[in-house]
Homo-oligomer: A and B are copies of this chain.
Amino acid sequence: MHQRDEIGFFIKLINDCIEKKANQTLKQFDLTLSQARILFYLHDHKETTTSQKDLEDFFEVTHPTIIGILNRLERKEFIRSETNSKDKRVKNIFLADKGGKVFCSMDHFKKSTEQKMLQDLTVDQIKELQSLLKIVYKNIQTF
């Protein structure tokens, strides 16, 4: 088995490539892929309040990672944050006006990207890919 044929290696190639291309496109919005994903999350969860911890759990990254991304987003005024008055340990995160404004054009970019990525695949193949990746994911998590 050659290194480049291994699933883990291949997944890394794909992930690096997605991130690079996305970051090049998102540069026009002064955003990175990880930052944009946070904005999408906040947009999708407008009705409920979101804490830093919620973002850690959803994106499955450690808290120093989330803190870094949020600090950069807040410095650029895409989001704002405030301490929860009920539980002062908790910091709530909100989409700021600027974050809402870039949303439409970003959403369009996101949909066309996902579409290009999955072109030449049938609906069944996409479902199959999702289900296979889910199994792989479950396997690695239980190491």
Contacts and interface: CB of A to CB of B under 8 A. Distances in A.
Interface of A: 2-19, 21, 37, 40-41, 44, 58, 60-61, 113-114, 116-121, 125-126, 128-130, 132-137, 139-141, 143
Contacts of A133: 7, 10-11, 14, 129
B140 A18 contact: yes
Given A18-B8, A37-B3, A121 B135 contact: yes
Contacts of A136: 14, 117-118, 121, 129
Contacts of A119: 139
Given A37-B3, A114-B6, A143-B116, A13 B129 contact: no
Given A117-B140, A120-B139, A139-B116, A16 B60 contact: yes
Contact of A143 (B21, B44, B114, B121): B21
A130 B5 contact: yes
A9 B126 CA distance: 14
Contacts of A114: 6-8
17 contacts: A4-B58, A7-B114, A7-B118, A7-B129, A7-B130, A8-B113, A8-B114, A10-B133, A13-B60, A14-B133, A16-B60, A17-B137, A116-B140, A118-B136, A125-B132, A129-B129, A132-B132
